[in-house]
Amino acid sequence: MSTITLNKSTPAASDAATPAAKPHQAAEPLAKRGAAVSLRGVSKSYGATPVLRGIHLDVAPGEVVTLIGPSGSGKSTLLRTINHLETVDAGSVTVGGEHLGYTRRGDKLVELPEREVLRRRTRVGLVFQHFNLFPHLTALQNITMAPTALGLLSKDQAATRATALLERVGLAEHTHHFPRQLSGGQQQRVAIARALALEPEVLLFDEPTSALDPELVGEVLDVIRQVANLGTTLIIVTHEIGFAREVSDRIIFLDQGHVVETGTPDQLLNHPEHERTRDFISRVL
């Protein structure tokens, strides 16, 4: 794998589904292209409780999509099925046309060896609400750990990449600080840099600012704005509706495990078609 290159590749002419770059285009985005994400009839229950009920969803390479919906509607679970943290009960999830946990031989599904599952899962990064940094590792070590442990980069390569990423998220001076020495916003920026270190083709954000004090939300949203221009496919769960409006190519409203409605920010937030969407939006706007 190449050292991180902060240049956007030129979109292929054939890739008509890739949305146009947004006005807040970053100067030096990643070279890696985004991958398509496709869910077909995805259902998931916890015990007897259905959480996802036959979800169909297509996200185009490089698209920025926001998932909104009431508490308990299944947003986090949906994200977790995409990077194979949860296995689905029915249906299928593919990233760039590839199943992350298994492969198809004829009409049979065959589980993949763990190492191959890990390799495929590096295609999809996940940034959690609660950062999940290793407390005993510095910012730099938190970022270098996965690429070295997976054998993707040498220690030196990983350190070079981590240093560039820390600079990118405005934390060059905190390279050797431990999580306890960082604010919540800084920790979340390290977590984003850590996710980027594996050069994911899809990056999932699960309420990335919900655990932060209000004054720290803006700095994390700024970093996500930059990431939104990298060409990586982004799927963001957020309650920050203003941010969703600004950054998204498309917003998806999920309720009770169903995709109720999807549309551009203007369509979905200003002209929702479904009553459930209208009710939700009138409560959160």
Ligand X SMILES: Nc1ncnc2c1ncn2[C@@H]1O[C@H](COP(=O)(O)OP(=O)(O)OP(=O)(O)O)[C@@H](O)[C@H]1O
**Contacts to ligand X by CB under 6 A:** 46, 51, 69, 71-77
CB of 97 to ligand X, least distance (A): 25
Closest CB to ligand X among 43 and 175? Answer: 43
The CB-of-260 to ligand X minimum distance in angstroms stands at: 13
Q: Strand 64-68 relative to strand 233-237: parallel, antiparallel, unpaired?
A: parallel
- In whole angstroms, the minimum distance from the beta carbon of 75 to ligand X comes to 4
Cβ-based nearer residue to ligand X, 77 or 209: 77
The CB-of-207 to ligand X minimum distance in angstroms stands at 6
CB contact set of 130 (below 8 Å; sequence gap of 6+): 211
> 6 or 284, CB closer to ligand X?
284
Please list, in sequence order, all residues whose beta carbon lies within 8 angstroms of the beta carbon of residue 40, skipping any fewer than 6 positions away. Answer: 56, 91, 92, 93
Our CB check for ligand X shows the closer of 146 and 224 to be 224
* Least distance from ligand X to the Cβ atom of residue 254, Å: 7
Q: Which is nearer to ligand X, 67 or 191 (CB)?
A: 67
- In the complex, what is the shortest distance from the CB of residue 221 to ligand X, in angstroms, rounded to a whole number? 18
CB of 43 to ligand X, least distance (A): 13
Closer to ligand X by Cβ: residue 14 or 71: 71
Residue 141 C-beta: closest distance to ligand X, Å: 29
Specify the residue, 162 or 217, whose C-beta has the smaller distance to ligand X.
Answer: 217
Residues ≥6 apart with Cβ < 8 Å to 211: 129, 130, 131, 184, 188
Residue whose CB is less far from ligand X, 74 or 231: 74
